[in-house]
Amino acid sequence: MSMIAISLQSGSSGNCIYIEAGGVRLLIDAGITGVQAQGRLAAHGRDIHTVDAVIISHDHGDHIRHAGVYQRKFGIPIYVTPATLAAATARCNLGKLTDVRTFRACDKIRFGDVLVHAIPTPHDGVDGSVFVVEAGKKRIGVLTDLGHVFKDLTRIVASLDAVFLESNYDPDMLAAGSYPAYLKQRIRGPHGHISNIEAAELLRRASVEQRLQWACLSHLSEENNHPDVALKTHRAAISGKVTLYVADRYQSTEIFTVL
Q: What is the pLDDT of residues 221-253, one digit of tens each?
A: 999 999 999 999 999 999 888 999 999 999 999
Residue 91: predicted pLDDT:
87
pLDDT exceeds cutoff 80 at 124: yes
Average pLDDT over residues 115-141: 97
Task: Read off the pLDDT band of 116 (50, 70, 90).
Answer: very high
Please say if the pLDDT value at position 131 is more than 80: yes
Mean pLDDT of 90-110: 95
Q: E strand or H helix at 84, and its extent? A: helix 82-91
Burial (Cβ within 10 Å: 0-12, 13-18, ≥19) of residue 112: exposed
Structural domains present in the chain: 3-254 (3.60.15.10)
pLDDT at 240 (0 to 100): 84
Residue 90 is given by DSSP the state H
Q: How sure is the predictor about 21, in pLDDT bands with cuts at 50, 70 and 90?
A: very high
Dihedral of the alpha carbons of 126, 130, 134, 138, in degrees to the nearest 10: 180
According to DSSP H, which parts of 190-238 are helical? 196-207, 227-238
When pLDDT is averaged across residues 165-182 and rounded to a whole number, the result is 98
Give pLDDT tens digits for 49-83: 999 999 999 999 999 999 999 999 999 999 999 99
